[in-house]
Chain A
Amino acid sequence: MTELSNPQPATPPRSQWVDVWHQFKAHKGALLGGVIFIVIVLGVFIGPWLWPYDSQFIDIRARNQGPSWAHPFGTDQLGRDTLARMMAGGQTSISVGLTAMLLALGLGSFIGITAGFFKRLDGPLMRLTDLFLALPILPLLLVMMLLFREPLSAAVGPERGIFILIVVAIGITSWMPTARIVRGDVLALKEREFILAARSIGTPNSRMITRHILPNVLSPIMVSATLGIANAIITESALSFLGLGFPPDFPTWGRLLNDATQYLQDYPERVFWPGLAISLTVLSVNYLGDGLRDALDPRIRGR
C-alpha cells in the first residue's frame, strides 16, 4: 500500500514549454545569444526614435570625423552620422533576415510535410529538393539580382522592389534543408500510435496535419528558423557587399561594409562597426539555435 500513500503530486504537472525553458536557461551561451539578439533588434528599431540624427542627414562640414561624443561611431564621407546609418541599415538587414527566413520556413515546412504525409508526392517532391540543392546558390542569386532588379524597381519603387526581390530570392533558394528535416520527422511520426488512433476515429487529412503533425515537428522547424535568420542576413550582406543588393544611398549592414572598404586606406576603422554588427547578430542567432536544439530535444532535456 506504500505506493498509494501519496496519491496527489505535490507540484502541479509542468507543461512541455516550462521544461524547454528550464533546459534552455541551463545553456549559458544560448541565453546570452538570445539577450544580445533582442538587444540588437530593439536597439535597431527603437534607437532611431531616441537618436537625434537622421540616417540621411548630410552635414558636409562634419565629414570623415572619428568617434566623438556627438558622433560615437564617427561620420562618413558626406558627414552622415554612422550610428544612425548603422541603425537604419540594421532595420533593413534584420527585416530581410526575418522575412526571408519566414518565407523559406513556410515553403520548407509545406514541402516537407506534404512529401512526408502523402506517399505519392514523396518521390517527386524529394527529387525537386535534390535538384534545388544542386543549384549553385550564390551565382544564381547574383544573376537573379542583376536581371530582375530593373523591372521590379520600376513596378513597385526602388527600395521595396529590391526588398521583395532579395527576400524572394533568398527564400526560394534556402528552403531545402528545412524540407528534408521536416519530411524525415513526419515519416517517423506517421508510424506512431497516436496517428493511428487519430486516423481510426476518422480525422480528415487537413486536421491531421494541423492538429497532430504540425505541433510535433515544431522543434526542428524552430531550430532551422534560427539558422535561417543567420543565413539570410549573411546572404543579404554578401549581395550588398558585391554591389548587387540595395541601391547605394540605402543603408544596410552589407552596403555600409562595402562603402567602408572603398575608404580602407584612409579610414580603416570604418569597416569595423558594420562587420561587427553582422557578426554579432549571426553569432548570437547561432548560439540561440544551438541552445534551442538542446532544449527542444527530449532525449537531452532533464540531464
Chain B
Amino acid sequence: MLTFTIRRLILAIPTLLFISLVIFLLLELAPGDPMAQVPLTVPPEVKEKMRLALGLGEPGYVRFWKWLVQFFWIEPQVLIDHYFGTAFSEGKLRVISWQHRAPVMDVVVQRLPQTMWVVGMSYVVGILIALPIGIYSAYRQYSVFDQAGTFITMIGYSIPPFFTGPLVIVIFSVQLGWFPFIYDTTHKVTDWDSFIYQLRQMIMPVMVLALQTTAQISRYMRASMLDNLNQDYVRTARAKGLSERVVVLVHVLRNSMIPVVTVIALGLPAIFGGAIITEQIFSVNGIGAQLIGAIQANDLPTVQTLTFMFAFLIVFFNLIADVLYGILDPRIRYD
C-alpha cells in the first residue's frame, strides 16, 4: 500500500507539470492583449515598455519556467515565512497579478475562506442528506419512498444550479423575503445576531450546491446498498439473530460505504467547479468570482494560477480516492 501511494505521488508530478504546460500553452496561443485596456493616447513605445514590465518580452519557455519556479519554489517559502517568521522569500519575485499588481496568492488567500465556507458547508449538508435517503430507499426498494426519492434525485441531477439558483432567489427572496439574495462577504460574525444573519445568507447558496451533491451521492448510496443487501453475509447476520437495525446499519452500511467514500472524494473538485456558477448567481466573492474577473480582464497570471489550483485539487482528490479505496477494501491490492 505504501509503495503504491508513493508511486502514485511520483506519477502525479508529471501529470501536474503536463497540465500546467497545457494551461500555459493555451494562454500563450491566445491572441488576447493585456494592453487592450490601456487608452489609445498612450504612445506605442510606452506601451512596449509596459509590456516589458509585465515580463512579456521574454520567449515563452522562459516565462513558463519562471512561473513554475515562482509557484512551486517561491510561494511555499512565502507560506513558511508567514507561519514561522523566517525570511526565505525576502526580495524574491512572486506570481504577480496584472489586474491589481498584487501577488496572486495574497488575493487567493483573501478569497478562499468565502468559497471554502459555502462549498464545504454545502458538501457536508449534501452528504448528510444523501446518505439516509440512499440507505432507506435501498432498504425499501420500489416502495413509495424509493420511487419518490429516485425521482427527486433524478430531478436534482438534471436541474442545473443556474436554474435552481434564480428559482430559490425568486421564491425565498423576492416573494417571501426570508433570505438576502446577495452574499455579504464583509460580514463578520461577532455575536448571536450576526451569526444568524450569516446563517441566513448562507442557506440559499449552500442548498443550491447541496442539491447537486445529494442527487449524485444518494444514487450511488442506493446502488451500493442494493448490491450488498442480497449478499450471503447479510443472511448469515440475520440468521444468527442480530436485530434488523444492526444488520443494516452496521454490517451492510459499512460495506456499502466503500465505493461511496471514494465517490465523495472524487466529487469534491467538481463541486469547486460548480461553485464558479453558484458564486456568480449569489455574488459570493470567492475564488470562482476571482477566476471569472481575471478571465474578463485578460489577467493571465491569475488565470494560470487559479486554473492550476483547480487541476491540483482534481489530481489530489483522485489520489486520495485511490488510496482510500485500497485502505477500506482489503480485497483490493494494487501491488
Q: B-contacting residues of A (Cβ < 8 Å)?
A: 130-131, 133-140, 142-144, 146-148, 150-151, 230, 234, 237-238, 241-242, 244, 254, 257, 260-261, 264-265, 268-269, 271-272, 274-276, 278-279, 282-283, 286-287, 290
Contacts and interface: CB of A to CB of B under 8 A. Distances in A.
B307 A136 contact: yes
Contact of B175 (A131, A136, A143, A268): A268
Given A237-B162, A271-B163, A286-B158, A147 B170 contact: no
B291 A139 contact: yes
A147 B315 contact: no
Contacts of A131: 15, 18-19
Contact of B163 (A133, A257, A269): A257
Interface residues of B, number: 46
Contact of B170 (A138, A237, A268, A279): A268
Interface stretch (B20-28, B94-102, B236-244, B252-260): B20-28
B22 A238 contact: no
Contact of B276 (A138, A151, A261, A286): A138
A238 B26 contact: no
Contact of A143 (B155, B303, B311, B315): B303
A268 B298 CA distance: 33
- Enumerate the 7 nearest inter-chain pairs by beta-carbon distance, A residue then B residue, closest first: A275-B163, A136-B310, A147-B30, A283-B158, A268-B170, A282-B158, A271-B166
Contacts of A287: 154
Contacts, number: 128
B159 interface: yes
A257 B164 CA distance: 11
Most B CB contacts (10 A, CB to CB) among A146, A150, A269, A274 go to A146
Contacts of B157: 286
Given A139-B276, A275-B159, 14 more contacts: A138-B277, A139-B310, A140-B26, A150-B32, A151-B31, A238-B160, A241-B162, A264-B170, A271-B163, A271-B167, A275-B162, A279-B160, A282-B159, A290-B154
Contacts of B273: 136-139
Nearest to B29: A147
Given A131-B19, A139-B273, A264-B169, A238 B29 contact: no
Contacts of B201: none
Interface in B1-51: 15, 18-19, 22-23, 26-27, 29-32
A135 B281 CA distance: 24
B280 interface: yes
Given A234-B160, A257-B166, A279-B160, A146 B295 contact: yes
11 contacts: A135-B314, A137-B273, A139-B307, A140-B23, A142-B276, A147-B32, A237-B162, A257-B166, A279-B158, A282-B160, A286-B157
B318 A134 contact: yes
A295 to B, nearest CB: 17
Contacts of B202: none
Interface string B197-228: 00000000000000000000000000000000
B112 to A, nearest CB: 15
A138 B162 CA distance: 14
B295 A142 contact: yes
Contact of B19 (A135, A257, A274): A135
B292 interface: yes
Interface in B283-309: 291-292, 295-296, 298, 303, 306-307
Interface string B147-184: 00000001101111011001101100011000000000
- Chain A interface secondary structure, helix, strand, loop or mixed? helix
Contacts of A268: 170, 174-175
Interface string B267-280: 00100011011001
B281 A147 contact: no
Given A143-B27, A146-B32, A260-B166, A242 B154 contact: no
Nearest to A139: B307
A74 to B, nearest CB: 15
A238 B277 contact: yes
Nearest to A279: B159
A244 to B, nearest CB: 8
Given A271-B166, A271-B170, A134 B292 contact: no
A278 B163 contact: yes
A136 B162 contact: no
B243 to A, nearest CB: 32
A116 B23 CA distance: 29
A150 B29 CA distance: 13
A134 B314 contact: yes
B162 A254 contact: yes
B158 A238 contact: no
A143 B295 contact: yes
Given A147-B30, A242-B280, A134 B15 contact: yes
Contacts of A257: 162-163, 166
Nearest to B162: A241
A264 B174 contact: yes
B149 to A, nearest CB: 14
A278 B291 CA distance: 26
A130 B311 CA distance: 12
Contact of A147 (B15, B31, B154, B167): B31
B321 to A, nearest CB: 12
A151 B32 CA distance: 10
B15 A150 contact: no
B163 A135 contact: no
B325 to A, nearest CB: 16
A287 B30 CA distance: 40
A44 to B, nearest CB: 18
Interface string B98-127: 000000000000000000000000000000
